[in-house]
Amino acid sequence: MEEMLWHKYKWPKEAPHSLEYPDEPLYALLDKTANEHGDLPFTVFMGMKRTYAEVREDANKIANYLASIGIKKGDRVAIFMPNMPHYPPVFFGILKSGATAVTCNPLYKPGELNFQLKDSGTRVVFVLDHPVFTPSCYEAIKDTKVEKVIVCNVKSFLPKVKAVLGGLLGKIPKSPFYEDDKTVFYDDILANSEAKPPDVKFNRKDDVALILYTGGTTGVPKGAALLHSNLYSNVLQIFNYAWIDPKDHPQSGRMRIGEEVVVGALPWYHSYGLTLSLLMSTYLAGQLVCVPDPRAGKPPMTELLKELEKNKGSILNCVPALYAGIVNNPKVKEFNLRSVKVCSSGAAPLPPELAKNFEDITGAILFEGYGLTETSPVTHINPTNKTNRKFGSIGLPIPDTYCKIVDLETGAKELPIGETGELAVSGPQVMQGYWNKPEENKQVFRQIDGKRFFLTGDIGHMDKEGFTVISDRKKDMVNVGGLKAYPREIEDILYEHPKVQMAAVIGVPRKEDRSNEFVKAFIVLKPGVEATPDEFIEWSKDKMAGYKRPKEVEFVASLPLTNVGKVLRRELRTKELQKRGLA
């Protein structure tokens, strides 16, 4: 890769500009680690550990079973469960069978899941044995191509005493019923299948490993088709970019093979949690702590704090909402979190004050990055040191990643440094395309300077040192009398107010002219404080231009969030329009 602007100033000196990528399928990550570190623990759940050798054996059995029922290369197999110890062997087992994994949000209602199963043409679904998840799955497979539902009970992953007591007391979750004609049990597969996966010929640059659906916050969800090479490349890009400076933490250097404990707080059905936690842990021969619900406990997130302390977690990947939950937990000082070393933040803006408070509590370094479902997900990371990182920016493009700011009209014209436009990225982590959506693909890909660029839909600019600053989503812009106001920029300013815990901004159409909007802010106040809307409107006068200032402020107990912590502005806007009779 030739030298680019971002390489010239604050690029980490230890990070190569370009990498060599092995010609291997994604599941080679597991096989390599099992060969070299088979006795090391991989998954950790409620005190019970499974080694890399054991997880590989289970994955091989799952692959063998899938092949035995006719699953062939390119068929789709879905996973509908939270972060449980079944997840890694199921995920890698699907890939070893030659199939493509489809990861689904376990909180989805039957209709939402039905859409993904239909759209992807899924033939088999793995689901957690659960009073809600399993019945939802049975309802969702109606009128789809699904032939088998594989039910995964948690009992086999519990220490014996807990499993026995749970069984006796009826506390182990299970479905109220099973559809006999379609149901197969995970434990029966492991008991009756050979640990011998089928011999499938792979082409890592053509074969789809994963169909991962976008959140659907801006319309109908689309399946991002991610290749084996996309995901494998992204793991290597992240590993080779991140370097901890000895001035910032005593355990300096790169993440350490065989020594890290990755706390899986983000859901693995999502690209952020899958790549940075599950796949990165596999590459590192690290321990992967299964956290089904990071917000569990009283007060919320207390269980996550317990897992961090008990397992001496060293790597934590979260969204700002989770970091805020840790910092604001009234019990946080009761826990020793000094084992935490390196933490990433993405999916939403990271307020600088939040990062500093978290670092004070843990001693870790917290850095902001950027990515998308369509990019496996990471394209940008701030320098992972306190000297060169820039709060308010998403950082620098990682190795082998090209970045351009292009015009909003055509997406094909590169804009000068400092000008605002749409972020476009190119690199080995960029998806093959949307599943069965040729017209959508034409809209989001451009050939620029001989390279294939993906139009991200995010608006921002690049500064003179190559750092990218995101203003907002293209579809979230607020049109105030012809001037464009960006909710993210306004939210960042609102976060500076000492009484604000969370904030979200939308555009509200004016009744007299629906093409003209004004800014409305929704604010969650910090516990124990009081405020008035006028107080914030007045405060904003010295902070931002008139057209950006909120004309209305509403205090709310909470904001609608996706399962990975993104604020659902679309949901706020929909409810607001309904309330005003403008829907």
User: CB under 8 Å to 311, separation ≥6 — which residues?
Assistant: 44, 261, 263, 287, 289
**Per-residue model confidence as pLDDT tens digits over 26-44:** 999 999 999 999 999 999 9
**Per-residue model confidence as pLDDT tens digits over 117-158:** 999 999 999 999 999 999 999 999 999 999 999 999 999 888
CATH classification number, 50-201, choose in 3.40.50.980, 3.40.140.10, 3.10.20.30, 3.40.980.10: 3.40.50.980
Helices (H), 473-547: 487-494, 533-540
Question: CATH 3.40.50.980: which residues of the chain?
Answer: 50-201
Question: CATH 3.30.300.30: which residues of the chain?
Answer: 480-579
Class of the CATH-defined domain 480-579: alpha beta
pTM: 0.85
pLDDT computed for residue 481 by the predictor: 67
Token output for 59: 């994955």
User: CB under 8 Å to 203, separation ≥6 — which residues?
Assistant: none
Nearest C-alpha neighbor of 489 from the set 507, 508, 470 = 470
Average pLDDT in the chain: 92
**Per-residue model confidence as pLDDT tens digits over 195-242:** 999 999 999 889 999 999 985 434 568 999 999 999 999 999 999 999
pLDDT computed for residue 218 by the predictor: 41
pLDDT computed for residue 171 by the predictor: 78
HEC-encoded secondary structure of 266-311:
CCCCCHHHHHHHHHHHHHHCCEEEECCCCCCCCCCCHHHHHHHHHH
What's the sign of the alpha-carbon dihedral 502, 559, 422, 356?
A: positive
CA distances (Å), origin 453, targets 177, 209, 273, 400, 557: 48, 21, 24, 13, 41
**Which secondary structure element, helix H or strand E, spans residue 183, and what is its range?**
strand 183-185
Query: What is the rounded distance in angstroms from the CA atom of residue 559 to the CA atom of residue 567?
Result: 7
- Note whether 358 and 326 are within 8 A (CB): yes
Residues of the chain with pLDDT under 50: 216-218
User: CB under 8 Å to 70, separation ≥6 — which residues?
Assistant: none
pLDDT computed for residue 166 by the predictor: 62
* DSSP 8-state symbol, 256: P
The one-letter code for the residue type at 181 is: D
Tell me the longest C-alpha to C-alpha distance in the chain.
Answer: 70
How, if at all, do strands 483-485 and 478-480 pair?
antiparallel
